[in-house]
């Protein structure tokens, strides 16, 4: 998997993606990530990347030209490096909400180009010209697409082979199966008067798996009835088959 990020803040993205699990996976060659400065592609002397919105209104809009030229150059670099043409995703609050299912789809691609807006928005014409899709990370507005792109990069990369130390890692996690994750405990057996549930100390793997599944079901039912309903529908459909 190769992920390129086009942004006005490449250092910020680079910094985050150099740490911890993702940083290690890059060093070991399991994933490739590169961040690109959109401002380097401006054609005006002031290196301006934004302008007033036609029709008036608050704030500034990112202009089409620097984003377009940056993306065309990144696509060329990616293809020259032997990858498929990247799947181009614009990070916008108006995009399709990100889900684990979407992350799984994106993780199947050979390469992704994530484009980050800033200011009040991006000139719609460059989105029309380049975007395969627009993704939002939630129903709230960020000051820019960078944090959203980092969320996508992180959640997609952890699904790529080699990135997590144990391949079961992500299958057990919240959302992968459509359920929230069961509660986890580590040493000591008692902390501040709170004991680890007895069943986890029993060594009985089948009972532990059953308990965890029940916990996951109950948590999902009470905390996220929307997910629970979907899970139930899927389970019923499987039984019907
Ligand atoms: N840019 C601003 N807000 C955003 C959001 N919620 N998701 C993705 N990109 C954004």
pLDDT digits (tens, 9 = 90+) for 137-180: 999 999 999 999 999 999 999 999 999 987 665 676 778 789 99
99-112 CB burial, b ≥16 within 10 A, e <16: ebebbeebbebebb
Residue 221 CA to residue 189 CA, distance in Å, equals 28
Residue 25 CA to residue 18 CA, distance in Å, equals 9
* Pocket of ligand 1 contains residue 7 by CB under 6 Å: no
Mean pLDDT for the stretch of residues 130-141: 97
The answer to whether residue 179 sits within a structural domain is yes
| ipTM for this model | 0.98
Q: How many structural domains are present in the chain? A: 2
Which of 103, 126, 157 is a domain's end point?
157
Same domain for 23 and 140, yes or no, is yes
pLDDT tens digits along 71-84: 999 999 999 999 99
Same domain for 24 and 102, yes or no, is yes
Res 169: pLDDT: 59
The answer to whether residue 162 sits within a structural domain is no
Confidence of residue 239 (pLDDT cuts 50, 70, 90): confident
Same domain for 139 and 187, yes or no, is no
The answer to whether residue 214 sits within a structural domain is yes
Same domain for 140 and 212, yes or no, is no
Q: Whose CA is nearest to atom 5 of ligand 1?
A: 93
Best residue for ligand 1 mutational test, from 140, 142, 151, 154 (most atoms within 8 Å of Cβ)? 142
CATH number for the domain that contains residue 190: 1.10.1270.20
* Pocket of ligand 1 contains residue 121 by CB under 6 Å: no
pLDDT tens digits along 44-59: 999 999 999 999 999 9
């Amino acid at each position: 998997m190769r992920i390129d990020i086009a942004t006005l803040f490449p250092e910020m993205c680079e910094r985050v993606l150099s740490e911890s699990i993702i940083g290690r996976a890059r060093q070991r060659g399991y994933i490739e990530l590169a961040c690109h400065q959109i401002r380097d592609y401006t054609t005006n002397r002031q290196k301006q990347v934004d302008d007033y919105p036609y029709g008036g209104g608050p704030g500034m809009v990112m202009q089409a030209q620097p984003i377009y030229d940056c993306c065309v150059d990144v696509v060329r670099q990616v293809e020259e490096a032997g990858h498929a043409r990247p799947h181009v995703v614009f990070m916008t609050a108006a995009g399709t909400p990100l889900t684990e299912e979407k992350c799984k789809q994106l993780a199947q691609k050979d390469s992704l180009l994530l484009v980050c807006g800033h200011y009040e928005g991006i000139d719609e014409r460059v989105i029309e010209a380049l975007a395969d899709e627009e993704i939002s990370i939630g129903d709230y507005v960020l000051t820019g697409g960078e944090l959203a792109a980092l969320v996508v990069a992180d959640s997609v990369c952890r699904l790529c082979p080699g990135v997590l130390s144990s391949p079961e890692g992500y299958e057990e996690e919240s959302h992968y199966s459509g359920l929230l994750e069961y509660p986890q405990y580590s040493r000591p057996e008692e902390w501040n008067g709170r004991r680890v549930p007895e069943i986890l100390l029993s060594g009985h793997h089948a009972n532990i798996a059953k308990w965890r599944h029940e916990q996951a079901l109950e948590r999902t039912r009470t905390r996220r009835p929307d997910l629970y309903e979907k899970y139930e529908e899927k389970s019923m459909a499987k039984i019907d088959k």
